[in-house]
């Protein structure tokens, strides 16, 4: 393995110049390994890449895939490779495998629905029908290829040796420390904050020849805004005094569980009244169960872990959704529903019923991409459109900005600070050009190391 003459190359097939579509090809001699295999998301032009971008390798000849975590932009393209002949192992931590399974079935389901709707329109226009990227059967075949790895344990495959270390981003998320032909490489994956709310802090690298570092918030400081406890407490109490309903559009992975934990803690310490909490997100409920299945992967207390499901009404069917607003009369209740940026999901139904009344509150709890209904609400829109109808916004709109699963600029610099020696080169991926450039300047200024903003498809020799 220590042949330093053997060529080793990196090629970024996604998440270069953009945040989504993470796929990094590592070629070590005649072996090929893919780090992450994500979908492009977001703007239409970026999503189009899922269909039109060609891969520079035959999936059947790929030796292995190593997965940092279960977010769609890191795992959502796996079934396409399997459909095209990939049969090798997919390595992940155990919680990442379970989250990936939830996310991929959901993705196949959404694609089936979207394709059906689009094809109805296309048929009327006399156009050829579209096909989804993959179906449930491809997800099933994908899941059969998974091999789970305990944290920090070295694994050998196709001429490389690697291990996962915790990255503090979501349940099961990991960075990858890898060695091949005398080179050591660390792939950061997505990194959490220095002190995540419910996870262990990211493990920082001590030594590496090469580093591939995410740069999502390379130009931002999350700041020491109000603590999420403080904001939640104020919002709940105010909504309670007005006798309204609190709706929290939330991401299913991590954020929903954090919010439930915060609410339960506030109720336990009597900072807010004891109110019914409804979790109306089928994916959110499944991920919540994973928090109970993997207690070693987060640092909620046993009590906090148990109350994630015990003090919460889990809504399964849409029939139940229709009942939620009528339960216990008009009394204040808290509803957590997907999706987090109000782009779809059950939260839309609640908003059509609740937005028009100033007694109610909508609490946004995460990043709101521009163009989404979430960002319109956060920017004070007078009305928003749902299913061809405009709904006036009279409810109060609040926001918690201090919950982020991503390291900001100082967290990223902190992550690098544990390196004992200068790495030969740092590649910045998973960022828009501006944050990546600013992070590059900051690293150069602070450490004087060689930093390259990764470009899509270029072959980098290590
Ligand atoms: Zn992520």
Domain range annotation of the chain = 8-220+405-461, 228-399
Q: State which CATH number among 1.10.10.10, 3.40.50.300, 3.40.50.10890, 3.90.1150.10 fits the domain covering 228-399.
A: 3.40.50.10890
Strand 425-429 relative to strand 383-386: parallel, antiparallel, unpaired? unpaired
Pinpoint the alpha helices (H) of 175-281. Answer: 228-242, 255-268
Q: Are 102 and 282 in contact (CB under 8 A)?
A: no
Residue 312 CA to ligand 1 center (angstroms) comes to 26
* Per-position pLDDT tens, the chain of length 462: 557 889 999 999 999 998 899 999 999 999 999 999 999 987 788 888 999 999 999 999 999 999 999 999 999 999 999 999 999 999 999 999 999 999 999 999 989 988 998 899 999 999 999 999 999 999 999 999 999 999 999 999 999 999 999 999 999 999 999 999 999 999 999 999 999 999 999 999 999 999 999 999 999 888 766 788 999 999 999 999 999 999 999 988 899 999 999 999 999 999 999 999 999 998 999 999 999 999 999 999 999 999 999 889 999 888 899 899 887 666 899 999 998 899 888 999 999 999 999 999 999 998 787 778 999 999 999 999 998 899 999 999 999 877 888 999 999 999 999 999 999 999 999 999 999 999 999 999 999 999 999 999 999 999
Q: How far is the CA of 409 from the centre of ligand 1 (A)?
A: 16
- How far is ligand 1, taken at its centre, from the CA of residue 169, in Å? 7
Q: Which of 382, 410, 379, 412 has the alpha carbon at shortest distance from 395? A: 382
Give the C-alpha separation, 267 to 125, whole Å.
55
The radius of gyration computed from the CA coordinates of the chain, to the nearest angstrom, equals 23
235 CA distance to ligand 1 middle (Å): 28
CATH no. for 8-220+405-461: 3.60.15.10
**CA–CA separation, 38 vs 70, rounded Å?**
9
**Within 13 A of 312's CA, how many CA atoms are on the CB side?**
29
CA of residue 227 to ligand 1 center, whole Å: 22
Same fold, 8-220+405-461 and 228-399: no
Contact between residue 163 and residue 155 where contact means Cβ atoms under 8 Å apart: yes
């Amino acid at each position: 393995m220590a042949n330093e003459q053997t060529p080793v190359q990196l090629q970024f097939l996604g998440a270069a110049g953009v945040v989504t579509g993470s796929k990094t090809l590592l070629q070590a001699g005649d072996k090929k390994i893919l780090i992450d295999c994500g979908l492009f998301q977001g703007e239409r032009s970026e999503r189009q890449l899922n269909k039109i971008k060609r891969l520079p390798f035959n999936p059947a000849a790929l030796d292995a895939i190593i997965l940092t975590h279960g977010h769609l932009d890191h795992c959502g393209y796996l079934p396409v490779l399997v459909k095209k002949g990939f049969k090798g192992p997919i390595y992940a931590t155990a919680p990442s495998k379970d989250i990936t399974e939830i996310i991929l079935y959901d993705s196949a389901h959404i694609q089936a629905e979207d394709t059906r709707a689009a094809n109805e329109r296309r048929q009327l226009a006399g156009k050829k029908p579209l096909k989804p990227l993959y179906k449930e059967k491809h997800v099933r075949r994908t899941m059969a290829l998974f091999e789970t790895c305990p944290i920090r344990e070295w694994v050998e495959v196709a001429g490389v040796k690697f291990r996962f270390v915790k990255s503090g981003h979501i349940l099961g998320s990991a960075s990858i420390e890898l060695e091949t032909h005398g080179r050591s490489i660390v792939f950061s994956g997505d990194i959490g904050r220095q002190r995540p709310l419910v996870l262990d802090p990211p493990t920082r690298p001590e030594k590496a020849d090469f580093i591939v570092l995410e740069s999502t918030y390379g130009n931002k400081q999350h700041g020491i805004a109000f603590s999420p406890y403080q904001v939640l407490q104020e919002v709940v109490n105010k909504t309670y005094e007005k006798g309204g309903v609190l709706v929290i559009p939330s991401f299913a992975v991590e954020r929903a569980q954090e919010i439930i934990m915060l609410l339960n803690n506030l109720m336990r310490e009597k900072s807010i009244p004891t109110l019914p909490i409804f979790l109306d997100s089928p994916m959110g409920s499944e991920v919540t169960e994973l928090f109970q299945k993997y207690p070693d992967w987060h640092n909620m207390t046993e009590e906090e872990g148990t109350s994630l499901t015990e003090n919460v009404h889990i809504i399964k069917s849409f029939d139940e959704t229709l009942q939620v607003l009528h339960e216990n009369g008009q009394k204040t209740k808290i509803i957590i529903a997907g999706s987090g940026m109000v782009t779809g999901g059950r939260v839309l139904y609640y908003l059509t019923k609740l937005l028009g009344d100033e007694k109610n509150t909508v609490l946004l709890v995460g990043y709101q991409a521009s163009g989404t209904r979430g960002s319109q609400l956060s920017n004070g829109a007078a009305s928003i459109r749902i299913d061809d109808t405009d709904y006036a916004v009279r409810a109060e709109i609040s926001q918690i900005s201090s919950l982020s699963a991503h390291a900001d600029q100082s967290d990223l610099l902190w992550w690098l600070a544990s390196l004992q020696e200068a790495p030969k080169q740092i590649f910045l991926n998973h960022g828009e050009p501006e944050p990546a450039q600013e992070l590059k300047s900051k690293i150069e200024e602070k450490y004087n190391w060689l930093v390259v903003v990764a470009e899509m498809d270029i072959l980098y020799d290590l």
